[in-house]
Amino acid sequence: MSLIGPSSRKGGQKSGARRNENNRIYAHPLPLVCPAPAPGHILGLFGLSTARLENPHCEGVFDPATRSVWITNEKDSTILWRRGFFGKGDLSRSEPSWLARQVNTRKAAGKYMTSEEVREKRRAERRQFKLDRAAAIARAAAEAEAAFAEGREAAPALIPSGATWKPSATSDAPSLPEPPAEEEDDAELDEEEEPLENVEHLQLTLQETWFLVWNLDCLTVLDSQTHEPLTLQQIWRAVQDVHCIPRDLPVYVDRFDNPFLVNYAAYHYYRALGWIVKGGIKFCVDYLLYKRGPVFHHAEFAVVVIPVYEDPADQESSPFNLPNANTFSWTWLSTVNRVNSQVQKTLILTYVTIPARSRISPELLSSPACLAHYTVRDVVLRRFIPARMRD
């Protein structure tokens, strides 16, 4: 006899259908696609393949102020997000879904609450509960003091709890919208409403931009002033110069510890291993590693990039204040590790060794060939929990 009820079976079918749909939409791990060869082609008899690599050739505008590249074309944004989860919507948490949310908000007007409205309602109720509980505690304390002064027994205090508390009618929490008294024709409402324009763009980091340009050759970067395509050499200098302000100082020239080079060495290391690499500032780390992508699973690992100078003299003369370049404290390490352990992420300390200027000619920095001289090694850090790790 099956122990799964009808409602559970229905929910499982729904989640299974959604999983299959995600597998279809996000089937390609990179923007470059190699379609399956046509069956029965005559070249297959000789062991030759007819498949050709499809390159989407996306375009983006370089923005030095935000140290990013903006993908304004909606088609290119969809391709880069669905094929490797590159970039982030500037008006969204991750996937550029601002337009879809606005459409759903219009449809939900006067009928039901959107997810954003439900979240605000819960936050308002939580604030009201804390205020009611604090007021009840204050009244109980005042009653206890008055009873002690009068020599009588204090009345039992009623302190609200999260399980029994209900929002009152005078609460500040927003209520569910009431249905309209008279239903109007949907066609007339659509004619009165102004059409929505998608004002959101996909924002690529410098590391993602260089990976798409140099390794995949599927992105063309345009100058923000002239809107002319930048050459590979111009992009290479631009992604480094954004960290050199003012740019005309000679102290910034020919530095192997440029923040872009250090962070890109770690980014390329994990991307080359097949991980989906996203920013991890929310969890006090540099990167988050996803096995397939944010749509399928939560991030399994949190990465902290730690620069290591091969020559200590380079660190003393460095104009860059690289994070974690100095010896970190146990308090900092314990704090970061505990934050990520609470969200079930394993902390990885990624040490990027910066080559010494005395050993390698600074002229090598004029091309991406200098990246071959950076070494990356990672150390996995786990919290010891005696109750779970007795073996």
Tens digit of each residue's pLDDT (9 = 90 or more) over 162-213: 777 888 765 555 554 554 444 445 555 445 567 888 899 999 999 999 999 9
Q: What is the pLDDT of residues 118-141, one digit of tens each?
A: 788 888 988 998 898 898 889 888
d(Cα 349, Cα 354) in Å, to the nearest integer?
16
Q: Let me know the angle formed at the C-alpha of 341 by 338 and 343, rounded to the nearest 5 degrees.
A: 120
Q: Is pLDDT at 101 greater than 80 in this prediction?
A: yes
Task: Please say whether the beta carbons of 89 and 95 come within 8 A.
Answer: yes
d(Cα 147, Cα 115) in Å, to the nearest integer?
48
d(Cα 230, Cα 221) in Å, to the nearest integer?
6
User: Dihedrals φ, ψ of 70, to 5°?
Assistant: -100, 125
User: Given CA atoms 212, 214, 217, 223 in this order, what sign does their dihedral have?
Assistant: positive
SS3 content of the chain, % helix, strand, coil (to 5): 40, 15, 45
The HSE-up count of residue 312 (CA atoms within 13 Å, CB side) is 2
DSSP per-residue string spanning 50-90: ----B---EEEEEETTTTEEEE--HHHHHHHHHTT--SEET
| pLDDT tier for residue 6 given thresholds of 50, 70 and 90 | very low
Q: Which pTM was predicted?
A: 0.77
From the candidates 345, 351, 373, 374, give the one annotated as an active-site residue: 345
Contacts of 3 (CB under 8 A, 6+ apart): none
From the candidates 298, 351, 373, 374, give the one annotated as an active-site residue: 298
Exposed e or buried b per residue across 250-281, where buried means at least 16 C-beta atoms within 10 angstroms of its C-beta: eebeebbbbbbbbbbbbbbbbbeeebbbbebe
Cβ count near 53 (within 10 Å): 9
DSSP 129: H
Q: What is the pLDDT of residues 70-90, one digit of tens each?
A: 999 999 999 999 999 999 999
Tell me if residue 298 is catalytic. Answer: yes
The first and second tokens of residue 279, run together, are 């920013």
* Residue among 253, 255, 215, 220 nearest 234 (CA): 220
Residue 89 one-letter amino acid: G
Question: Mean pLDDT of all residues in the chain?
Answer: 84
Position 182 scores a pLDDT of 46
From the candidates 290, 291, 297, 351, give the one annotated as an active-site residue: 290
Structure-model confidence comparison of residues 114 and 336, the more confident one:
336
Task: Please say whether the beta carbons of 247 and 193 come within 8 A.
Answer: no
The first and second tokens of residue 188, run together, are 């007339």
Contacts of 73 (CB under 8 A, 6+ apart): 58, 59
Q: Is pLDDT at 264 greater than 90 in this prediction?
A: yes
Tell me the three state secondary structure of residue 280. coil
Q: What is the mean pLDDT of residues 319-341?
A: 91
Residue 261 one-letter amino acid: L
* Residue among 33, 38, 70, 27 nearest 54 (CA): 33
d(Cα 95, Cα 89) in Å, to the nearest integer?
6
d(Cα 193, Cα 134) in Å, to the nearest integer?
45
